[in-house]
Amino acid sequence: LAILEASGVAAELDLDAVPVLDGALELSERGVRSSLWPENHSAIEARMFGAVDTAKAALLYDPQTAGGLLATVAASDAEAALGELAAAGVKAAAIGRIVAAEPRLTLV
């Protein structure tokens, strides 16, 4: 959300494309949350739209499973960037796109 606000754009996130750590979804389904989860959730929930009440969406608020690195690349460069990362042994996924709109995150 900070990237979106700084850039004055919105993002559409494909929740199905977001990779998760082994066991994370099962823990989320059981309601296991980190101590920072409530604070992150309340800071972001008003700016997120879509299926936010699912166990997988709940992982987006968890600082331990929300991902260590988020990068944006031009859509025309995405496939090549993913290929180069894979060749280097780095797990990566295209999880959404940036759109011209008021800063917010929409789950699609």
Higher pLDDT pick, 81 / 65: 81
| pLDDT above 80 (res 22) | yes
Rounded mean pLDDT of the chain?
87
What token pair was written down for 104? 């917010």
| pLDDT above 60 (res 38) | yes
**Which residues fall within 8 angstroms of residue 106, CB to CB, at 6 or more apart?**
10, 11, 12, 13, 48, 49, 50
| pLDDT range class, residue 59, cuts 50, 70, 90 | confident
C-alpha count within 13 angstroms, C-beta hemisphere, residue 70:
17
**CA–CA dist 36, 60 (Å, integer):** 12
DSSP secondary structure code for residue 99 in this structure: E
Say what the pLDDT of residue 51 is: 59
pTM over 0.85? The answer is no
* Under 8 Å between Cβ of 107 and 57: yes
